[in-house]
Structure 1
Amino acid sequence: MWRLVVDAPFDEDIELSVIDDEGVHALIFPCQRLAGGWINAMTGERLEVHPTHWRTWQIAHRCDVF
């Protein structure tokens, strides 16, 4: 179930729904909310996104790269 982004937890892997140049869509990697914004939980890279909603990251969604 999607929840409003204002209620997103800090320091926890979550799935984000964002608005970008292509419209509204879910990101394909886990994200974490930090005090200063959002990061890709797999790489630690800071994200320049405008999230609208979030939900718990499901293990089945993981995009492991090896």
Structure 2
Amino acid sequence: MRDWHPISTAPPERNLQLSVHENDEVHTLVFPCRRTESGWVNATTGKPVFVDPTHWREWLEFEP
């Protein structure tokens, strides 16, 4: 299992998988995100992602 890291250590401008806590549950986003100067964005669309993530790990690309 890949290791999760504290969100405070998230590198900028890299595709990452984010973990968020919502309603006392942990959720993992199913699309890659990037940390930019203006906040988190969907790495595929470039649109802002309005979440408050707690952890991150490397996004792994899967090929069919």
Place the TM-score, normalised by the shorter chain, in its bin: 0.7 to 0.9
1:43-64 per-residue CA deviation (whole Å, 9 max, x = no partner) reads 111011010000000112x8xx
**Which has a greater percent of strand?**
1
Q: What corresponds to 1:36 in structure 2?
A: 38
**Unaligned residue ranges in structure 1 (runs of 5+):** none
**Which has a greater percent of helix?**
1
> 1:14-33, aligned counterparts within 5 Å?
14-20=16-22, 23-33=25-35
The answer on whether the counterparts of 1:20 and 1:50 sit within 8 Å (CA) in structure 2 is: no
Superposed CA RMSD: 1.7
Question: How many positions carry a matched residue from both structures?
Answer: 61
Q: After the TM superposition, which parts of structure 1 deviate over 6 Å for at least 4 consecutive aligned residues?
A: none
Q: Percent identity?
A: 43
> 1:1-66, aligned counterparts within 5 Å?
1-20=3-22, 23-60=25-62
**Unaligned residue ranges in structure 2 (runs of 5+):** none
Distance 1:12 1:24 in 2: 22
